[in-house]
Amino acid sequence: MTEAVTVRRVGPGPGVAEALADVLIDCVEGGASVSFMLPLERDRAERFWATVLESAARGERIVLVAEDATGAVVGTVQVLLATPENQPHRGEVSKMLVHRRARRRGVASALMLGAEAAARTAGKTLLVLDTSNDEAERLYQRLGWQRVGSIPGYSLWPAGGTCATTIFYKHLSG
C-alpha cells in the first residue's frame, strides 16, 4: 500500500529536531541498530538531531524528511556529502528511518528516491550505505542497489547483543 507522503529537505528550524527525535526514538525502541542503545532519552535524541541539522546548514550533509498528509514527520534519511578529497564523487546514505506507524506505505522508497535525487543534484555519482535490517535489504535491492557483503558482529542491537551489517552501493545515472 502506498500512501501520499511529501519528501522535503530540512535544516535547523522550529520543531525539526523534536520531530526527528520522535522518529529516532521510535525506531530504536523498535529494535533498529542505528548507533543508539536503550534507553534513548529524548534530550539526547534532540541534541543528536540539532547537531545533524547544524551540519546540514554547513553543507556537509542533506537531511530529508517524509511527512504524511497531516504534516507529521514519519521518516527521514541523510546523504553525507563531506568526503575525503579523493572521493568527491561519493556520498553515503545514513539514518534511513521510518516510524513504525508509517511502515509498509511506501515511505522508505520515497525517502530513498529523494536521497538519490538530492545526491545527484549535489554532484554525487556513487552512493554507499550499510544496514542491519533484512526488510531494508530487500528494499535497497528492489531499488537497484548492489549488495557487497556482510560483516558479522559489526555493531550492537539497542537492547544488546551483536548484529551484522550489510554493505550496499549504487552508481547514480544522470
Q: What pTM was computed for the model?
A: 0.96
Q: How many CA atoms lie within 13 A of 164 on its CB side?
A: 8
Q: Is residue 169 assigned to a domain?
A: no
**134 is written with which cell numbers?**
533484512
DSSP string, 96-153: EEE-GGGTTSSHHHHHHHHHHHHHHHTT--EEEEEE--HHHHHHHHHTTPEEEEEEEE
Q: Provide the number of structural domains found in the chain.
A: 1
The CATH number for 111's domain is: 3.40.630.30
Q: Is residue 139 assigned to a domain?
A: no
pLDDT tens sequence for the chain (174 residues): 556 899 999 999 999 999 999 999 999 999 999 999 999 999 999 999 999 999 999 999 999 999 999 999 999 999 999 999 999 999 999 999 999 999 999 999 999 999 999 999 999 999 999 999 999 999 999 999 999 999 999 999 999 999 999 999 999 986
Give the pLDDT of residue 94.
Answer: 98
